[in-house]
Every structure is written in structure tokens, then in C-alpha cells.
Amino acid sequence: MTSLVPVVLSGGSGTRLWPLSRHAYPKQFIPLFDELSLFQATIQRLDGLDGVAGPCVVSNDEQRFMMAEQLLELGLHGRIILEPVGRNTAPAIAAAALDVAATDPQSVMLVLPADHLIADVAAFHQAVQAGLETARAGRMVTFGVVPNRPETGYGYIEAGEPLGAAAAREVVRFVEKPDLETAEVYLAGGRHLWNSGMFLFTAASYLEAMEKYAPAMLEAVRQAYSQAREDLDFLRLDADAFAACPADSIDYAVMERAEGEVAVIPLDAGWSDVGSWHALWEAGEHDDAGNRLEGDVIAVDCRDTYVHAGNRLVAALGLDDVVVAETADAVLVAARDRVQDVKTVVEQLKREKRTEWQVHREVFRPWGSYEGISLGERFQVKRIMVKPGQSLSLQKHFHRAEHWVVVQGTARVTRGDDVFTLSENESTFIPLGVVHRLENPGRIPLEIIEVQSGAYLGEDDIVRLDDVYGR
């Protein structure tokens, strides 16, 4: 029997969960409900399905090391395909289908977004098993979530008659996000399901549908895949060819055009796309007043309110239907019925050329992380953590000098022609323009305090001369 290949789409930025989710550290990599991130939970909930192969993940270049590290934390290695630019879900899935088809075109692909929550894993497994026979017979299968409220934020699938004795039903049509009155009619009628964005089909079936309904898109992806190159554990699609690919979702490019070739499996498994702070409030545990409180929070006379305290005590008094989200460098306060508009705040941050939309105060890198501690005119202070056995690139700066003080671990320092070791409470100075590198040769994390001084302190003032991570 052909294998079941999970294809996880992980390129989103999660702007509606700002300030917790940022462009460089989006929601799928954040532990929102327990110690696992949404991405890791997506992978882990596949445990127990029969014949599951290693995951194929499609993502972007900026997230590659974060994704690989989170897979390693689960004890897994996966196929990671890197998109040079975002082109929506249809091309991303096509790239994965070409990769799967290179081994076995009849392998069934289970396409999953990386940032969904499913509370009832057993029901999810049952739905997948119910769709396998239909998918292996050549139909494309989608999963429609059984609605429990008149939701206006999701697209719908109108389900038709059952397909034989299987749980699958015909797809009558895909429906755009409705207004409230229409959503109430859908809920009462019992024929409409939320469009979950999860799919099941063979690689061959999807590529045939692409050839039929989106041939220009498929040809561009084929070119990008045929010219792809291996880079460490990643497969990089060709940048020029993929950039020339039309951008569209799988719904618009394929599914809505192939309604007669698509089946839907009803899914009742406690599903959420965790697409907003309201969804996070709804999915979590509540106190007797309907509040969801995370972190160091004191809430007095609050009702139906969500408070997320990430770094310090947050006190809330007399709040009803409000979201408060605190991080090290930003605080969001919003009416719970307006949280879908958080993306407008992100857009304003971009227009004002601020960095809070893009990165947290702590920024993760493949070698470790750094955190901004203080920033002033012509100086900046950072805490840098380097994982054991890792190293920063060999680099230089045109506009700043750096002072390093080791506070934990052992540092191997390259400074010009000199290579030397620093221990705790020892320091060194890197003059402007001097080639340098920081390494951790030890078995414990290396922590240093870096003081930068100069006319320009931006992260783009780095000239990399050598880098083990291929940046």
C-alpha cells in the first residue's frame, strides 16, 4: 500500500496575533497551549495514523532553521522545501507534490497548515482514515469542519449526497465568507461546513488537476523544482522561476474549479485555525467569569477577557470583553470584537519603519539568539547566547565597534589574525572594520554581553565572509 505523506504548510506570518506573533517568529512556532508549538503539535498529532511517512514541510528561508530545530526536538528529520518568495498555497502544494511524485505518484498527501489546533486527535484520525479510500480512488478530498456557530470569518463548503458507503460526501460548491444572516441560514440547514484548508489526495491527482486548471502555475513550479538545489537539509526552489509563478490559493486555483472532482469529509474534532486573539480566548480554559489569564496576571471585576502576560505582572481592573497581550517590547489592548483588525496596527508599524512588527526583543538565529537590552544614540547593548558547538559567521562591520564580556561559558574569538579563548568575566574589543568571529567550543551555552558603539547600529551592517549556515 502506498504511504501517507504529511505535507505541512508553514510559511505564514500570523499578523493577527501581534505582538506575540511576529514576522520572524510567527505563531506556528510559539507554544500557545502547552510546551509544544502549533507546528510541533501538527506533526505530533500524526502519531497513530497507519503508514505515515516522514513529513514534508514547505516554508520560507527565514524560518528554515527554526523549523528544523523544532523537528529535531521531536526526534524527527523531515523534507524541508524552501520557497524563495511567497506564492500562496497552490504553488507550495504543487512543489511538494512534485517532490512526492518523484518517489511514488500514488502516495497520498495529507496537506495540513502548521498553525491549526485540533482538540480531539482520535476524531481527526478517524476523518483521515475515512478519506483515504476516496483519495486513493482519484478524488481530491477536503475536510469540512462541522460548524457550532454562525461564523462569518470562514469560507464554507456546501456538502451534497454521500459517495457510496464512505463518509465522504459530494461537494456542491465552495462559498465565500458569508454575512451573519447567511451564516445563520447555513448553520440551521446542516449542509454547510467550514472550509478547514486541510486536504487529502494523491500527488498524481493534484498534479493532474493543476495541469487542467492552472497549467501556467504548474509549469512555473516545475521549472523551479527542476532547477532546485540541495542546501544542508533543505531543498531550495529556484528563485527566478518561482518568482515568475502566479500566486493563488489552492481553493481558487484548483478546488473551486474542480468541484465535481472533490469530496468532503465532515470533521468534528474541536478544530480552530487560531486566527485571532478571540480564537485563542475561545480555545483556552476560562475562570468562572469567562476570563482566560496567562502568566503573572491579577484580574479584578473582569469578564470574558483575555490577558496574556509574557514578561511582567499585568493587573486588569473592570474590563469586559477585552484582550490585553504583553510582550517584552509591546502591549496590545483591544476590544475582543475588534481583534481581527490587529493587522492594521502591523501595517502602521511597517509604514513608520519600526521593527516591532518583524522581530521580538529576543531574536532567534541558527546558532542561538540575541536580545536587545538597551539602545541609545550611538550605542546598543545586547545579550548574546551561542549554543554549544555553534558559531556566528566570520564578519566585519563598516559603522560600529563591539565590546564583548563573557558572563557564562567559554568563547573562542577570531579577531583579525588572532584566535584566542575567553572565559567568564573576561572581555575583548573588536575595532570597527576588523574581521571577527564568535564561537562556542564548550558544552554549555555561551552567554556574552555585547556593547556596540558607532554611527549606525542596524543589523544590515554585516559583511559575511564565511558562514556555516549558508546565509
**Is residue 354, in this structure, part of any structural domain at all?**
no
Residue type, 322: V
Same domain, residue pair 268 and 300: no
Same domain, residue pair 218 and 307: no
Instruction: Please tell me the predicted confidence (pLDDT) of residue 2.
Output: 63
Same domain, residue pair 115 and 250: yes
CATH number at residue 440: 2.60.120.10
Instruction: Tell me the average confidence (pLDDT) per consecutive run of 10 residues in the chain, 471 residues long.
Output: 87 86 90 91 93 92 86 88 94 97 96 95 95 93 95 92 83 93 94 96 97 97 96 90 95 91 95 91 92 96 96 97 96 94 94 91 90 91 96 95 97 96 96 96 97 91 87 71
Instruction: Please tell me the predicted confidence (pLDDT) of residue 165.
Output: 61
CATH number at residue 55: 3.90.550.10
**Is residue 161, in this structure, part of any structural domain at all?**
yes
Same domain, residue pair 73 and 58: yes
Distance CA 174, CA 464 (A): 49
Domain count for the chain, please give it. Answer: 3
**Is residue 357, in this structure, part of any structural domain at all?**
no
Instruction: Please tell me the predicted confidence (pLDDT) of residue 327.
Output: 95
**Is residue 81, in this structure, part of any structural domain at all?**
yes
The last residue of one of the domains, among 272, 305, 334, is 272
**Is residue 440, in this structure, part of any structural domain at all?**
yes
Pairing of strands 418-422, 411-415: antiparallel
Tell me the CA distances in angstroms from 64 to 59, 213, 223, 365, 393, one per residue in order: 7, 31, 22, 10, 17
Among the listed residues 335, 329, 348, the one whose alpha carbon sits nearest the alpha carbon of residue 306? 335
The last residue of one of the domains, among 272, 304, 330, is 272
Same domain, residue pair 303 and 241: no
Q: What is the pTM of this model?
A: 0.86
Containing domain of residue 166, as a range? 4-272
Q: Reduced to 3 states, what is the DSSP secondary structure of residue 185?
A: helix
Measured torsion, CA atoms of residues 137, 138, 139, 143, in degrees rounded to the nearest 10: 70
Same domain, residue pair 66 and 40: yes
The last residue of one of the domains, among 211, 240, 272, is 272
**Is residue 293, in this structure, part of any structural domain at all?**
yes
Same domain, residue pair 328 and 400: no
Same domain, residue pair 180 and 315: no
Residues 6+ apart with CB under 8 A from 16: 275, 276, 277, 339, 340, 342, 343
**Is residue 58, in this structure, part of any structural domain at all?**
yes
Do residues 291 and 280 lie in contact, with contact meaning Cβ atoms separated by under 8 Å? no
Same domain, residue pair 291 and 389: no
Same domain, residue pair 317 and 410: no
Burial class (CB in 10 A: 0-12, 13-18, 19+), 180: exposed
Other Cβ atoms closer than 10 A to 303: 15
Same domain, residue pair 320 and 413: no
**Is residue 230, in this structure, part of any structural domain at all?**
yes
Same domain, residue pair 196 and 314: no
